[in-house]
Amino acid sequence: MPPLLDALAFDLQRSGGAPLHRQIQSRLVAEITSGALKPGARLPSSRTLAELLGVSRNTVMLVFEQMIAEGYLDGQTGSGTYVSRSLPGLARKARPAPRINPVLPAASSLDRGRSFARFSDIPETFRRMRRPVAFRANFPAVDAFPVQLWSKLTMNLFRRMDAGAASHLLGEGDPQGYHPLREGIAAHLALSRGVHCSAANIVIFAGVQHAADTACRLLLMPGDGAWCEDPGYDGAYAAITAASARPCPVPVDAQGIDVAAGLAAFPDARFAYVTPSKQYPLGMAMSLERRMQLLAWAGAHDSWIIEDDYDSEFRYGGRPLPPLQALDTEGRVIYLGTFSKSLFPALRLGYAVVPDALIEYFVAARTVVGRYSPILDQILVANFMAEGHFAAHVARMRKLYVQRQAALLEAVARDLGDYMTAEPSDSGMELLATLRPGLDAIAIARAAAAEGLEVMPVSFHTQGQRPDPRLLLGFGAFTPAQIDDGARHLRWVISGMTPQCNIA
């Protein structure tokens, strides 16, 4: 065995220890800081190191990505991974693993800046960057995005640029958003979702979370109660908490958010954040009866509704119920949408459809919070829509996701049937799998994460993490071959767990 491989052929603690990727990272850091691995040294490939250590390649890739981000390693496309020649100042001394939770300042500092306490409550699962590893939920097929077409549109934009166009493209943007993009969004929403709006009602944001945060700042006073679905979207709780308001968890059932339960438990709430088209994470659509109850509540209590329509583009059968915004006659609904799911996450473009009475305030807030979104990205999306590419891309993705969902259902039945059952979803990029009695969803998720897989327990989205036997499995970002590999890997993870997690 070559000396480098020999130095890295160490034993991992498979049970009761730190996650495998943490153990590997700690050993590599120790080898670098001790001088055993010299600056510029080429590391084995991720596949070779994975085989040497008996772990998945995804686990090693996770380690490499983290150490590149921290400055220990350099990744060179087509060449390999090397020990950095310019190690960070503290890298020559062993450093403890980064803390998951932030260290808050002293009490006197908190008295001067109470927002520290608010932001420390943001869930860790929401704060971290999550990679598209099997089976990450709610992540689009970036592998199928028409990169060459996007590149061509970009080149055409610059090729046609004269002095006047350059001054627009390279200058400042409209805080409300690029007008042709807003027109394209309005036309698309009217046709595909029945949303009633014009370009004047649309404000462009850096994604749905940015829009939700702005809405919470505008519509909530410190201490106000705000209904959130339980289980529900972490980002809703985060935005409400950051606005010094009070998240009020309201249970959901087969019809969506339980309006009667919300009224009984939190009658003074001034705000509701809901995902009616496809409840996150359970996947059901809010019934028409519940939609009308929610709108009646908002009108009677002078309250507001945020309608997060995050997954509306990808429905596989029949027309969905009309959005709350289309049923709203009193201007109580702010409708949110995003291009992160329909195009790609790195774009960071979303939008809010805002009632007439609130437009001035939302635009003013957008001016303060981020000023405006990058003009080039807005122009490219506007052109992508105007030339018909957006509608064609969404249609292709619907077909692709139907195929990938079928592959996941087949893989679960074939490789994981001893441990779980999965039900098909009529929309979106993930499905729910129910574990057999005696299995612990959280324990499985943690064991899978240590092996470079991601399965999300529904209980992670409930208040208090109540026990729940269901896992959220994504299929959007993975080819059938990746899905098959992931299912076999997950079976290996579950079969090797401690007896308390095995089938009773």
User: What is the tens place of the pLDDT at every residue in 356-390?
Assistant: 999 999 999 999 988 888 889 999 999 999 999 99
pLDDT for 12-32, tens place per residue?
776 656 677 778 888 888 788
CA trace torsion 209, 214, 216, 221 (10° rounding): 160
CATH code (residue 460):
3.90.1150.10
Residue 413 lies in a domain: yes
Residue 150 lies in a domain: no
| Domain range for 324 | 174-371
Say whether both 285 and 334 belong to one domain: yes
CATH of the domain at 238: 3.40.640.10
pLDDT tens-digit series, residues 285-331:
999 999 999 999 999 999 999 999 988 788 887 666 889 999 999 99
In a domain, 99, yes or no: no
* 450 and 407 in a common domain: yes
The pLDDT of residue 79 is above 80: no
- The answer on 290 and 244 residing in a single domain is yes
Q: Are residues 397 and 457 in the same domain?
A: yes
Residue at 382 is within a domain: no
Of the three residues 83, 101, 121, the one that is the final residue of a domain is: 83
Domain C-terminal end among 313, 339, 371: 371
pLDDT at residue 123, as a whole number? 55
Domain shared by 347 and 254, yes or no: yes
Verify that 424 and 493 share a domain, yes or no: yes
Averaged pLDDT score across all residues of the chain: 84
Residue 267 in domain = yes
| Average confidence (pLDDT) over 413-438 | 94
In a domain, 465, yes or no: yes
C-beta pairs of 125-133 under 8 Å, 24+ apart in sequence: 125/234, 125/460, 126/234, 126/235, 126/238, 130/454, 131/62, 131/65, 132/477, 132/478, 133/58, 133/62, 133/452, 133/453, 133/454
Q: How many domains does the chain have?
A: 3
The pTM of this model reads 0.76
pLDDT of residue 94: 41
Domain termination site, one of 67, 83, 99 = 83
354 shares its domain with 403: no
pLDDT at 415 over 70: yes
Q: Find the Cα–Cα–Cα–Cα dihedral 408, 414, 417, 421, rounded to 10°.
A: 30
Q: Are residues 322 and 283 in the same domain?
A: yes
Same domain, 70 and 204: no
Same domain, 364 and 396: no
Q: Is residue 152 part of a domain?
A: no
